[in-house]
Every structure is written in structure tokens, then in C-alpha cells.
Structure 1
Amino acid sequence: MPIRPEHRHFYPIDWPQLSQEIRFGRAGGRCEGCGRPHGRVVVCLEDGTWHDAESGIWRDGRGRRLRRPPALPVLAGARLTVPILATCHREHDTSRNGDRDLAAWCQRCHLIHDRPEHLRRRRLTYLRRKALGDLFLGPYPRS
């Protein structure tokens, strides 16, 4: 995932090389959360279940092997995705770039990991907008 220009100074100078090493050296081109391969077409179901073409088995959202493959009616809702790996900070602290602080995750695992942080920021944005509305427009009308 590209780094926004205003956040570039938070990352080390060698970030592209470090990211490459984490994603393809340590993780071997697979998501460390669910095991999806980078850049390959994957068949996915709505619940996160996906087909691992290399081993020919179905896996759940965490990459564990399913005991039984999904039923045919469920497969009708399948979609094709191409997971792209990104190097992510586990604790959202860009100053910590050690091996334990970084992870190679696909978009789905990254969003699942960041969900609490996104909800926190969304709440703050909502409260800030409400406060600005109260400050400049007076209290909101009750409806």
C-alpha cells in the first residue's frame, strides 16, 4: 500500500527494501494471517473461506484447512479476488520496525486487524464534527 506523502517522514529511508524482505523473504509471498498467496487469483466465499489452488483444499478465513468443502449452492456466491500483500505495523507505531513489529498481511487481514482503530477514529471524527456544528451553528435541532 503506498505511503501518503504527508506520512512519509514517519517511515525509515529503507522502507521499500524492508517491506520487500518481510513480504517475500520472511512470509514467502503469503499472508501471515490467512495464508493467501500474493498476486494470484483466489476463489473466495462471503464468510472468508477460500480455495487454496496450490494444495487443492478449502481453507477458512484464518487459513486453517476445512474438514468438508463448501456445498454447491454456497459456491454460487463465490467471487474471484487477487490478494496483495502489504507490510503492516502490528501496534500502529511506525517508529518500531523490528521483525516482531511488522507483519505481511493481505487487505482482508489488514482491515480486520485495523478495525478497532478505524472505529476509534470514526467516533472521534463524528464527535469533532458535532462539536464544530454546536460551536458555529448552535445546538442541533431535535428530531
Structure 2
Amino acid sequence: MRKVLHLGDGRLWDGDARRWRSDCGKVTAVRGAGLLDVQSTYVVLACAHLDHDPGNNHPANLAALCQRCHMLHDAAEHRWQRWWNVFRLCAIRDLFEDPRSVRDGRAN
């Protein structure tokens, strides 16, 4: 866990390089009123599987990402998982519901 200075929009202070960085890690300029919005927060790194396979623990497949970057990296996988869960629940309901009750508007 490390305390990090940031501006609330993804830009953060890189203390080692003594520069501001964008949310993509590129060096960026912050001038004037932007410095009034400096906040601090604690950041915890998480281990991300680059190929989204938790069984593949090869060092080349792992990256240490902050929580924000980890969620952005896994966003497509999370969307797919949500879709799959809804699809699966609908399929199970189709197996066990009486289609006549749905058609007639009656609840089981």
C-alpha cells in the first residue's frame, strides 16, 4: 500500500520521476488551478492475469496494476460474465417454467 497524490481525473504524481503522469502513464503538464485540486489516496496493487486465465501463472502473464487499472483491464471480461450469468439464468428458467403460464400472464 502506498500513498499517492492525484488530481481526481486519473492524473497522478510520480514521486520517483518527480513528474505528473496521465492515467495511461504518460508524462503530462499540470499548471495553475489544477494544482489546487491535489488529493491523496492509498493505492494497493493487485496481480492481474493479462490473458484473463487465472490458471496461467507464468510471470510473463502477470502484471501488478492498481485497482483502477485492473478494473479497466478486466472490463470486457466482466461485461461478458454478466451477460453469461443472465443468459444462464434465463435458460434454466426456460427449462423449468410452464410456457403456458407466461403466455397467459399467470405467475407460478
Q: Deviations over 1:53-81 (max 9, x none)?
A: 33332100121111x215515843x5422
Q: Deviations over 1:23-64 (max 9, x none)?
A: xxxxxxxxxxxxxxxx22112234311112333321001211
**Is the 1:90–1:103 contact (alpha carbons within 8 Å) kept by the matching residues of 2?**
yes
TM-score (norm 2): 0.71
| Percentage of identical aligned residues | 33
TM-score (norm 1): 0.57
Equivalent residue of 2:47, what SS?
A: strand
Structure 1: stretches of 5+ with no match in the other structure: 1-38
Structure 2: stretches of 5+ with no match in the other structure: none
RMSD: 2.8
**Is the 1:88–1:105 contact (alpha carbons within 8 Å) kept by the matching residues of 2?**
yes
Higher relative CO (Cα under 8 Å, sequence separation at least 6) belongs to 1
For 1:15, the equivalent position in structure 2 comes to none
Q: Deviations over 1:95-136 (max 9, x none)?
A: 322221111111111111100000001111222334445553
Amino acid at match of 2:68: R
Where does 1:101-112 land on structure 2 (aligned, <5 Å)?
Answer: 101-112=61-72
**Is the 1:133–1:139 contact (alpha carbons within 8 Å) kept by the matching residues of 2?**
no
Where does 1:47-66 land on structure 2 (aligned, <5 Å)?
Answer: 47-66=9-28
Instruction: Tell me, yes or no, if structure 1 residue 82 matches structure 2 residue 53.
Output: no
**Is the 1:89–1:103 contact (alpha carbons within 8 Å) kept by the matching residues of 2?**
yes
Q: Which has the larger helix fraction?
A: 2
Structure-2 separation of matches of 1:89 and 1:45: 28
Equivalent residue of 2:9, what SS?
A: coil
Amino acid at match of 2:80: R
**Number of corresponding residues:** 101
Where does 1:1-143 land on structure 2 (aligned, <5 Å)?
Answer: 39-66=1-28, 68-72=29-33, 75-76=36-37, 78-134=38-94, 135-136=96-97, 139=102
